[in-house]
Chain A
Amino acid sequence: MTPMLAVPFGPSRSGESARVTVGDPSAHPWRTMWLWTLLLLFPLACLALSLGIGRLAVPPDHVAGILLARWLPIEPRWTEIEARVVEFVRLPRSVLALLVGASLGMAGAALQGVLRNPLVGPQIVGVSSGAAFGGALAILLGAADAGVMAAAFLTGLGSVVVVHGLARVDGAARPLTLVLAGVVVSAFAGALTSLVSWLADPQSTLAAIVYWLMGSVAAASFDEVGLCATSAILGGGLLLLLAFRIDLLSLGDADAAALGVPIEPVRWAVLAAVALLVAGTVAVAGVVGWVGLAVPHLARFLVGPTHGRLLPASALLGGGFLLLVDCAARTLTAAELPLGMLTALVGAPVFALLLRRGVRAGSLA
């Protein structure tokens, strides 16, 4: 065997270094540390920005003082109005945007892994629209936030199960078939949501449903933060625990089976975790599309494909991204812009790009 080892294989070392992922720990320990520091700072910086800007600009030192005054004896140099705006309006809203973005980013990364499909996100596979139907129904029936979340979880999970079942042949679903199955189920769920809106009382519940469906964190409360944090910790925690198994599933069912690992139980656990994450976001902020599709691609570019790194990176990037979008939504114009509209403006072109790239590479059909 020895003489054959001397034969050079493949391209030269310099040629392939461009493809080594930045987050690969064995290759660049220092770069990896810097990268993760920046990834951690990104949502924090967005949070600091978000607490300061708005119709009432609060200087950064006032923001810091207001936040720290709870625990430290600081002489208030800020006005009472500033304290109220930061603490009771902007803080819950910003934290909620962070949680929603982080949940959607993780959900998208996990979905792209277990379904082996670069084109999927919570919205594409019907979880979002399914959850929206459940949530709208719960609002119609007068449920509280937790009830909305429970209903959204059940219908969201049901939708992704149906989509996966429709698209699957011999345990695998082709990327475009899965997208089409998502279209079918989303359309059906959308029709049911319309039916719920039609049934709703124009004087009271209709406005609540329509406003909620548009996607917004404007009316955030600390109760909603708690609800979304619960689903984010439970769903996200489960995904992080399963990260290595998601790596395996992302290779394909055949590879996982060859190594003696059960496939279906892991896949269902992941889909349930995703449905929980999405339901948490839908319950508090309505349907915020596209974040879960676009963010994991950026994260994968930065930290590589293994889910132990990809999931946290998607959470950090998704949280920061949605917070930035929310800042834009409330500061760009005098009237507030819908969050879902802005994320679609960013996400849809990303989807188009991925689609085009996949079609050209012939990897989708």
Chain B
Amino acid sequence: MITVEDLAWRAPGAARPLFEDMRWTLPAGALLLLLGPNGSGKSTLLELVAGIRRPIAGRARRAADSVLVPQRSRPAVFTVLDMVVMGRARRLGWFGRPGRVDRAAARAHLERLGIARLADRPFDRLSGGEAQLVLIARALLAEAPILLLDEPTSALDLANQARVLAVLGELRRSGLTLLVATHEPGALLALASHALLLSGRGGWSFGPAATIVDEARLEGLFGTPVQRLGDGPPGPVCFVPRLVT
């Protein structure tokens, strides 16, 4: 469970807070979609929930450990296996080193995500989708019940989006609590239980994904006409900008 109480954040030097007086509760096992324009504080909110940043007011409480899957990692010269094993860092403590068990667990998670054959490749030679899956595998190795994902499908082609979405669906079914910041609500809508809209101008709204994510609200959020394609969920849905010609 995640509880946010009177939470506020203002970027250093900014006049207005990105959001304030934010209050919501997310039950365990839920999948929360985080929507909002660029710079509206989605990544920051994930970091606040993760405890990496301190809010300027209020607090975000978690009932369990969380681990963040960053939008992208710096290019690293490590092999995929070395990279994934780093998910064990917190559990191993200051002086710990990953052993045979940890490596086996890392391989098991790579297997689970369907990328076992990448284990010995250098991480910086992977495609965007492969890298994203590796970062998810690394987060899973931390064995935290809460997973925070920052735009896991952005900059991925269709096949890689499908792989990441399939993995997210499986994680949801396995009982993890997921917070997913995204620019593409359509494909994730079928998986989501809740949604949080961030305007970036202080405003926010929280509610069940099925009712809160619609054309009118997205138009208000992004300030541009939006068209909904498809009639799901459960069927596929897509939101596209309506071009005024």
Contacts and interface: CB of A to CB of B under 8 A. Distances in A.
A78 interface: no
Contacts of A1: 114, 162-163, 166
Interface stretch (A62-70, A178-186, A238-246, A278-286): A238-246
A4 B82 contact: no
B142 A251 contact: no
Given A5-B114, A7-B159, A259 B90 contact: yes
A260 B74 contact: no
Nearest to A269: B94
A1 B113 CA distance: 10
B45 interface: no
B125 A255 contact: no
Interface string B48-83: 001110000000000001111110011011110111
Nearest to A260: B90
Contact of B125 (A10, A256, A259, A306): A10
Nearest to A172: B74
B1 interface: no
Contact of A9 (B68, B83, B130): B130
Nearest to B142: A259
A325 interface: no
Contact of A258 (B68, B98, B163): B68
B90 A306 contact: no
Given A1-B166, A5-B114, A251-B73, A244 B89 contact: yes
A261 interface: yes
A24 interface: yes
A247 interface: yes
A352 B169 CA distance: 50
A306 B76 contact: no
Contacts of B96: 244
B109 interface: no
Nearest to B118: A9
B97 interface: yes
B126 interface: yes
A254 interface: yes
Given A259-B142, A260-B142, A251 B69 contact: no
A26 B119 CA distance: 10
Interface residues on B, range: 35 or more
B163 A255 contact: no
A266 B90 CA distance: 12
Residue picked from A242, A255, A257, A308, most chain B C-beta under 10 Å: A255
B166 A24 contact: no
B120 A24 contact: yes
A242 B93 CA distance: 10
Nearest to B70: A258
A259 B120 contact: no
A95 B144 CA distance: 48
A24 B130 CA distance: 21
Contacts of B162: 1, 4
Contacts of B217: none
Given A24-B79, A26-B81, A251 B86 contact: yes
Contact of A254 (B70, B76, B114): B70
B125 A19 contact: yes
Nearest to A258: B68
B122 interface: yes
A255 B131 CA distance: 13
Given A19-B125, A251-B76, A258 B50 contact: yes
Contacts of B174: none
A252 B124 CA distance: 14
Interface string A2-42: 00110101110000100111001011000000000000000
Given A19-B122, A20-B120, A247-B78, A10 B86 contact: no
B97 A308 contact: yes
B90 A245 contact: no
B77 A243 contact: no
Contacts of A11: 125
A19 to B, nearest CB: 6
A271 interface: no
Contacts of A256: 89
Nearest to B69: A258
A4 to B, nearest CB: 5
The 9 closest A-B pairs by CB, nearest first: A258-B68, A241-B95, A252-B74, A260-B90, A257-B52, A305-B77, A1-B166, A261-B89, A244-B97
8 contacts: A1-B114, A10-B125, A247-B86, A251-B86, A257-B68, A259-B89, A261-B89, A266-B94
